[in-house]
Amino acid sequence: MSLLSPLERDLIALIAPAPMLEQVCAWSAINTGTRNLDGLARQAGLLADAFVALPGDVTLEQAAPVEAVLPDGRVTAIAHGCHLVLRVRPRANRRFLLTGHMDTVFAADHPFQATRWIDDHTLNGPGVADMKGGIAVMLAALTAFENGPHAAGVGYDVLINADEETGSLSSAPLIAHLANGKAAALTFEPSALPDGTLAGARAGSGNYSVVIHGRSAHAGRNPEDGRNAIVAAARLVVALAELAHPELSVNPAKIEGGSANNVVPDLAVVRFNIRPRDEPAAICFGHDLRSLLAWIESEYGVTTHVHGGLSRPPKPLTPDAERLFHLVRDCGAALGQTIAWQSSGGVCDGNNIAACGVPVVDTMGVRGGAIHSDQEFLIVPSLAERAALAALVLHRLSGENQ
C-alpha cells in the first residue's frame, strides 16, 4: 500500500466487503438462466434499485430481435430479457464503459440453485463468480470512485446485459452504441485463473447452423431418387473439422434431422462453433465455408442455408490495450496485488467492445473458478480486493491529463 497517495487510501477505505457479499447471496438466489425471462426481470429490478444510488439515469433497454434455427430447419424468434443501462454525466468529454451480465448458464429447472460455504473464504453457488460477484465489485468500485476528486470531470455508461451467456446477440447493437467514443472499458467477468490472472488477447467465436435440404425417397424401392441430407451433413462435418489449423479451431457439435429407417432423409441441420485466433483466420474461414458448401451441394444434390456467423470478433492486444493492462498492473502493485495476464480461447463482451476500437480489460471481476458447473466458487476476500483495484484504476484513468 506504500505506493498509494493519502487520497487514494481514503478512497479505498470506502469499500465495505459485507454489503457486497450480501448482494451476491441475494442475487445468486434468483435463477437468471438466459431463457428464464421472469427471473431476469426480477434480477433487473433489484439491480436497478442498487445502481440508482449512483448519479445518472437507470433504464431497462429492450432486447434487439434474435432468430434461431429449430431442429426442423425453421427459423424462429427468440425472446430475451431487458438490459440495464446507467448513464452518468453523458456530456463529459472523457467517458468510460463498464459492463457485466446478469444471466447465468443455469436454467430454471437446473438442480444447482443455492449457495453453500465450502470453507471460511469460499462460497459455492450459481453465478457467484460468473458474474454476480463481478456486478457487486463494479457497483462498489463506482460508489467509491464517485467520492473521489476526479469523478465529476468524467462520465461513464454501465451496461448489464441479459444474454451474455448465449453470445450477446440481443445486446450486441447496444454494446456497440455504448462503446462508441469511450476512452476505455472495464468488464467484470471473473479472473482467468483463481490467482487473479487476467485474460489478455482472446480468440473470436462464431456459432453456425447449416440447414441441408435433400429429397425424400423410399429406402428400398427407389433410393436412387432421393438426396440424403444426413449423408451430406456427415460429409460436411468431416470437412469442417479438416478446416482447423493452429489459428482456427472448428468444433462440429450436433447433427439433427433424419426420418424413419426406410426413408431417405430430406433434412439435416449441422451446428458448429469456430474460434479464430485473429481476423485473417476469420476471413479465410468465411471463404472456405462458401467453397465447401458449394461442393457439398454439387456432390450430393442438396441445397444449404447458413444461419449465424462470427458474433465475437478476435480481441488482439493492441498498444492502447497494453497501456490499459499496464495501468491495471500498476494499480494492483500499489494495492499489494500481483496482476498478470495471458491469452484465452474464451470469449465475452470484451471481444465486442475491442472490435469498436476501445481498449478493454475484461476480467476485472472476482477471483473464483469452476464456472459453468455446479462447482462454481467465489473466493470471498476477492470482492474487496477487486473493488479496490477497479476503483483505483478508474481514479487514475480519470486523473490522466488527456
CATH number at residue 213: 3.30.70.360
**CA 171 to each of CA 76, 167, 246, 295, 349: distance values in angstroms, whole numbers, following the listed order:** 18, 9, 31, 35, 10
Beta bridge partners of 305: 211
Same domain, 257 and 335: no
In this structure, the answer to whether residues 344 and 387 fall within a common structural domain is yes
pLDDT for 175 equals: 98
Tell me the angle at which helices 17-28 and 382-399 cross, rounded to the nearest 10 degrees: 110
pTM beyond 0.85, yes or no: yes
Residue 194 lies in a domain: yes
d(CA 312, CA 94): 26
Co-location of 116 and 229 in the same domain: no
Domains: count for the chain? 2
Does the residue 1 lie in any domain? Answer: no
In whole angstroms, give the CA distance from residue 141 to residue 126. Answer: 23
My answer on whether 39 and 159 are in the same domain is yes
Are both 212 and 277 inside the same structural domain?
yes
Residue 285 lies in a domain: yes
CB atoms under 10 Å from CB of 319, counted, come to: 7
Together in a domain, 81 and 131: yes
Amino acid at position 229, single letter: A
Count other Cβ atoms within 10 Å, centred on residue 248. Answer: 20
Backbone phi, then psi, for 171, in 5-degree steps? -110, -5
Write the CB contacts of 230 (distance below 8 Å, at least 6 apart in sequence): 255, 257, 258, 265, 268
Contacts of residue 74, defined as CB under 8 A and 6 or more positions apart, other chains included, come to none
Looking at the structure, tell me whether residues 129 and 225 fall in a common domain: no
Q: Please identify, among 312, 342, 361, the residue that sits at the C-terminal boundary of a domain.
A: 312
**Are 194 and 210 found together in one domain?**
no
Q: What is the pLDDT of residue 63?
A: 98
**pLDDT computed for residue 150 by the predictor:** 95
Do 171 and 294 fall into the same domain?
Answer: no
CATH number of the CATH domain containing 20:
3.40.630.10
Question: In whole angstroms, what is the distance from residue 87 CA to residue 58 CA?
Answer: 7
At residue 4, the pLDDT reads 95
Residue finishing a domain among 312, 340, 366? 312
Across the strands, what pairs with 160? 84, 100
Instruction: Characterize the bridge pairing of strands 83-88 and 155-161.
Output: antiparallel
Cα 54 from Cα 27, distance rounded (Å): 19
Whether residues 148 and 220 share a domain: the answer is no
3-state secondary structure 318-332: CHHHHHHHHHHHHHH
Quick check: is 291 in a domain?
yes
- pLDDT of 94-106, one tens digit each? 999 999 999 999 9
Contact 394, 331 (CB under 8 A): no
Q: Up-side HSE of residue 332: CA atoms within 13 Å toward CB?
A: 18
Q: Do strands 263-264 and 217-218 pair parallel, antiparallel, or not at all (unpaired)?
A: antiparallel
Judge if 109 and 63 occupy the same domain: yes
> Which residues, including other chains, have CB under 8 Å from residue 291's CB and lie 6 or more apart?
none
Instruction: Evaluate whether 349 touches 175 at the Cβ level (below 8 Å).
Output: yes
Tell me the C-alpha distance between 227 and 236, whole Å.
15
Residue 287 has, within 13 A of its CA and on its CB side, a CA count of 6
Residues 33 and 142 in one domain: yes
Contact indicator for 21, 380 with CB cutoff of 8 Å: yes
Asked if residues 46 and 28 have their Cβ atoms less than 8 Å apart, the reply is no
* 312, 329, 361 - which closes a domain: 312
Residue 132 contacts residue 27 (beta carbons within 8 Å): yes
Residue 401 pLDDT: 45
Structural domain for 242, as ranges: 205-312
Q: What angle do CA 156, 389, 346 make, to 5 degrees?
A: 80
72 and 133 in contact (C-beta within 8 Å)? no
Amino acid at 264: V
Give the residues of the chain that fall short of pLDDT 70.
1-2, 400-402
Helix-helix angle 132-145:17-28, to 10 degrees:
150
